[in-house]
A and B are shown apart, each in its own frame.
Chain A
Amino acid sequence: MTLDLIIAGKRIRLQSEDDVNLRLDERFTAFIDASGGEPGLIIEVTPEKAIIPSEAVKVFDAQHVEETPEGPGKSGEPFWEVASGNNMTYVKVSLKDPVRYPLLIIPQGKMRWHLFTDEAGTEADPMPYPLDGLILYFLTAINGEIMIHGSGVICNGRGWVFTGRSGSGKTTIAGIFDRNGDRVVHDDRLILMKHDGRWVMHSTPVYRNDEPRSSGVDHLWIISHGRSNISVPLSGAEAAGLIMANCIQQNWDGDATARLVASVADLASSVKVSRLQFLPDNSTRDYLMARENTPAETATAAALFLLEEGKQVTVTAGGYSMWPTIKPGDRIIIAPLNPDKPLTAGKVVAVRRDGGFVVHRITETRKGKLSRFIKTRGDASLIPDPWSIEMNVAGKVTEIIRGDKTLKIKRRRTPYIIASLTVIIVKMWQRITHGKATSTVK
């Protein structure tokens, strides 16, 4: 018997001997495809028992995790394990009711896998939980595709992904969009991959009524419940680290981990990433739509215009490049330049760059034949900015407002920041979706 599933655009062919009937749970129904086509993966299913050969070495162990009100707790019971040897990866799953131990054998580099379901008779269930998720994990890990705990929606033609730790509100937020008539791609687990240079999200079969859905990704939010709706843009290692923390991963295989983090870094640099605190009501949707429809350029252009008009402007700092002189969230007062007072090293200025401006400190000035040049650098940065002509300086920072305090610009501190190690706490694969038979949104 042959059964094809298409999940995240990948055709997975389940194959068995003619006298063996393949039986799939209801959650796969909408993913079955009978149109034929070249499979990306073939899994040969045998309803017999197989064991991990003694020469293979256990490389990863996962015990049963039970969700308790205090958070996940280990029961100590075996759940699944991975062993490696003979150029094969062996994945053994421990199932209850009835007790059986399916074994998936993945020959290295091959797209024909073998599954022994450990069932007597002529019926085989090739995709019991959690084996289905493990198959998807190993399949996506080959190309560094991302399986993530997250919900995805399409609002006004934009694809938004919400990810966060267990209890952060992924399903809640998807429900808000669902009630407003937006399309929900999935509210629990997504596969993210790059198609023709664009990041795309795909649904995965988790609940009884799931179906294949996809959308491009425009913005990814790391969510948590809050007392108001606030979003803060993230970038670089912070954005990538927070996404990585919510990805489904098995960190025993350095190559697979390296591929995943490379993809996550690409995702974090290709789509907008923000941290979002939200209220569990319609105001979140209104807030996100209003925020998305206000181009950031408008505020920058207005500030530059006012400075050119000789007016002082106040902007809010968003990054760490001038830390600790200027911290994110500080309001910075920028005054127009006084043409009679030449700029000197040590002054903090707003320099036009890429259609906006950056606020950095002058480290050096140089007089050219026609104009003066300045070199700038963020206090917290090791790398100086390129030289720019003085005309590119939009204004000079005169004051910094932090909370209700007004701070004067201090001289630059020693350009040495203690090497810091930030721990991004995660509880990753342990948060396996289980127990909810039907998605709350659709």
Chain B
Amino acid sequence: MISVSSIPSHSPRVVFRRINDECLLIPLTDNIADMDSLYRLNETGVFIWELIDGKRDIRDITARMAEEFDVDQAEAEKDIMLFFEQVQEFLHFREY
């Protein structure tokens, strides 16, 4: 279960490529049948992705996000949790 105290780090099973303000995420797989999607993150998604370093927890990332985007902390937290749920297959989480 992901919570605000979870510490995310990037999975080695995904290739990240930044293109201007956005990025592509390409999952690595060992079976052709699973090779059916690649993903595009928008600018804010890239901002969060690049804050993930295996040290910051989601609470820290939310605070950085709220600072950068002049958005209410509670609102940012809701959106960030949703984001992490969407991209969880590309991340590992540990609890501090």
Contact = CB atoms under 8 A, between A and B. Distances in A.
Contact of A251 (B22, B23, B35, B39): B35
Interface string A234-257: 001110110011000111111001
Nearest to A265: B19
B51 to A, nearest CB: 11
A237 B19 CA distance: 5
Nearest to B26: A257
B33 interface: yes
A261 B45 contact: no
B19 A268 contact: yes
Interface in B7-41: 12-13, 15, 17, 19-24, 26-33, 35-41
Contacts of A425: 36-37
Interface string A394-424: 0000000000000000000011111111111
B43 interface: yes
A60 interface: yes
Contacts of B68: 382
Contacts of A74: 33
B77 to A, nearest CB: 12
Contacts of A423: 37-40
A359 to B, nearest CB: 18
A380 interface: yes
Nearest to B71: A416
B23 A237 contact: yes
B83 to A, nearest CB: 4
Nearest to B78: A418
Interface stretch (A207-215, A295-303, A327-335, A427-435): A427-435
B40 A429 contact: no
A240 B19 contact: yes
Nearest to A72: B33
Interface in A328-375: none
Contact of B27 (A61, A251, A380, A381): A251
A423 B45 CA distance: 13
Interface size grouping (class) on chain A: 35 or more
Nearest to B83: A419
Contact of B80 (A241, A419, A426): A419
A352 B21 CA distance: 22
B5 interface: no
A289 interface: no
A250 B21 CA distance: 26
Given A261-B15, A382-B43, A383-B21, A419 B27 contact: no
B70 A261 contact: no
A315 interface: no
Nearest to B33: A74
B26 A238 contact: no
A60 B33 CA distance: 10
A271 interface: no
A258 B15 contact: yes
A373 B83 CA distance: 38
B30 A419 contact: no
Contacts of A237: 19-20, 22-24, 40-41
B79 interface: yes
B35 A428 contact: yes
A190 to B, nearest CB: 20
Interface string B47-74: 1100000000000000000001111000
Nearest to A323: B42
**4 A-B pairs with least C-beta separation:** A237-B22, A419-B45, A62-B32, A419-B44
23 contacts: A61-B30, A61-B31, A61-B32, A62-B31, A237-B23, A238-B22, A238-B40, A244-B26, A257-B28, A381-B21, A382-B43, A416-B44, A419-B41, A419-B44, A419-B47, A419-B80, A420-B45, A421-B86, A421-B87, A422-B39, A425-B36, A426-B36, A426-B38
Interface of B: 12-13, 15, 17, 19-24, 26-33, 35-45, 47-48, 68-71, 75-76, 79-80, 82-83, 86-87
